C-alpha cells in the first residue's frame, strides 16, 4: 500500500543569505499551508494532521516556515512586516515552479495569503482562511487577550518559558486539554531561537480597503471564542470579498483546524473538490 508522511524538509535559497524551510506530502494540485505568528510557530506544528488528509485526498500539501519561524532563516536585522513574508511565499511558489496554487492561511498566515492573492491573482485557484489577521487597525489586535499573552511571552522579562507558552496556548483553543505538552515543548524550542525583532517589528497591514481585489473563490473558518483575531471582522471579510463563504464555529478558539479537524478538512476538501481526483483507496496515512 502507498503510505503518506511529511517529508523531512527541504530548503530554498531566498536570496540575501536567507533560506526557507518547507515540508510536503502527497502529489497533485498544490495546497500551501501558512502558519500564524505564535511563539515557535512552524508549518508542521500548525497543520501536520490536516496536510496528511489533504494529501490522501489527492493534493500536494506544502507547509512553509515563514521568515523568523520554524527552521527558516531568522535574521535579527530585518523588519518582520507583511511584505517580508509575502516575499517568502512568492519565492517558494516561483522556485517550485507552481503555476497555480491553493492557499490555506491561519492568522498572520491568512493575511499573507490575502495579500499574495491580491498581488498575484493569475497564480491563484482558491483561498482558504482560518481567522486571518489584517482586517482592522493594529490597536484592535493589541487589545486581544491572546495577542497580549503572545507579546508578553516573547518580549517580556526573561523571554519565552514553558509556563508562559502554556498560558498562550490556553488562550489559543476553547478547550486547553486538547493541547499536548509535547507540542508546547516543541514550540518552546523554536521560540528560543527567535530574535526579539520577529515580534518587536511585527506588522500586519490593514487589508480591509483591498478585499475587493480578491478574485478567487474564498472559504473562511472562524471560532466564536477566538482570543487572537476578533471574530466580528469575519463579517467584514464576507462583505469585502465578492465570492466568499464564512463559517462560524461555536466552542472554538483560534485553531479551527486543530479543534475541529473533521469539519475543517471535510469542508475544505469539498471546496477544493473540482481541483483533483481522489487517490486510490489503497492509500493510507502514517500515524
Q: First and final CA of the chain: distance in angstroms?
A: 14
Q: List b or e across 237-265, with b for residues whose CB sees 16 or more CB atoms inside 10 angstroms.
A: beebbeebebeebeebbbbbbbbbeeebb
The crossing angle, in degrees rounded to 10, of helices 162-172 and 145-155 is 160
The CB-side HSE value for 134 (13 A sphere, CA atoms) comes to 30
Residue 70 and residue 172: Cα distance in Å, rounded? 18
Residue 146 contacts residue 227 (beta carbons within 8 Å): yes
Task: Report the alpha-carbon distance of residue 74 to residue 68 in Å, rounded.
Answer: 4
Catalytic residue among 21, 35, 254, 260: 254
Q: Is 193 helix (H, G, I), strand (E, B) or coil?
A: coil
Q: How far apart are CA 58 and CA 274, in angstroms?
A: 11
How far lies 12's CA from each of 30, 104, 119, in Å? 17, 20, 22
21 tagged catalytic? no
**65 CB contacts (<8 Å, ≥6 apart)?**
20, 21, 22, 35, 42, 43, 71, 72
CA separation for the pair 23, 114 (Å, rounded): 22
Bridge partners (DSSP) of residue 64 are 22, 34
Are residues 205 and 80 in contact, defined by beta-carbon separation less than 8 angstroms?
Answer: no
Which residues are annotated as catalytic? 254
Amino acid at each position: 500500500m502507498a503510505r503518506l508522511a511529511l517529508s523531512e524538509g527541504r530548503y530554498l535559497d531566498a536570496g540575501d543569505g536567507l533560506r526557507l524551510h518547507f515540508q510536503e506530502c502527497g502529489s497533485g494540485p498544490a495546497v500551501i499551508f501558512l502558519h500564524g505568528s505564535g511563539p515557535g510557530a512552524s508549518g508542521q506544528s500548525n497543520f501536520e494532521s490536516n496536510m496528511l488528509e489533504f494529501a490522501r485526498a489527492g493534493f500536494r500539501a506544502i507547509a512553509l516556515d515563514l521568515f523568523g519561524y520554524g527552521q527558516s532563516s531568522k535574521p535579527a536585522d530585518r523588519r518582520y512586516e507583511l511584505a517580508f513574508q509575502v516575499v517568502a511565499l512568492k519565492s517558494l511558489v516561483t522556485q517550485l515552479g507552481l503555476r497555480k496554487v491553493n492557499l490555506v492561511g491561519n492568522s498572520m498566515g491568512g493575511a499573507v495569503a490575502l495579500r499574495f492573492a491580491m498581488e498575484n491573482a493569475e497564480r491563484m485557484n482558491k483561498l482558504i482562511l482560518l481567522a486571518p489577521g489584517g482586517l482592522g487597525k493594529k490597536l484592535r489586535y493589541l487589545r486581544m487577550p491572546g495577542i497580549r499573552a503572545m507579546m508578553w511571552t516573547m518580549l517580556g522579562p526573561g523571554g519565552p518559558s514553558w509556563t508562559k507558552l502554556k498560558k498562550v496556548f490556553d488562550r489559543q483553543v476553547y478547550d486547553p486539554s486538547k493541547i499536548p505538552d509535547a507540542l508546547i515543548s516543541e514550540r518552546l524550542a523554536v521560540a528560543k531561537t527567535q530574535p526579539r525583532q520577529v515580534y518587536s517589528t511585527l506588522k500586519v497591514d490593514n487589508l480591509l480597503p483591498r478585499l475587493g481585489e480578491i478574485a478567487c473563490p474564498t472559504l473562511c473558518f472562524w471560532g466564536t471564542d477566538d482570543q487572537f483575531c476578533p471574530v466580528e471582522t469575519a463579517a467584514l471579510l464576507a462583505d469585502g470579498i465578492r465570492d466568499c463563504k464564512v463559517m462560524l464555529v461555536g466552542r472554538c478558539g483560534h485553531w479551527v483546524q486543530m479543534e475541529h479537524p473533521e469539519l475543517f478538512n471535510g469542508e475544505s476538501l469539498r471546496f477544493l473538490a473540482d481541483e483533483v481526483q481522489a487517490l486510490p483507496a489503497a492509500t493510507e496515512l502514517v500515524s
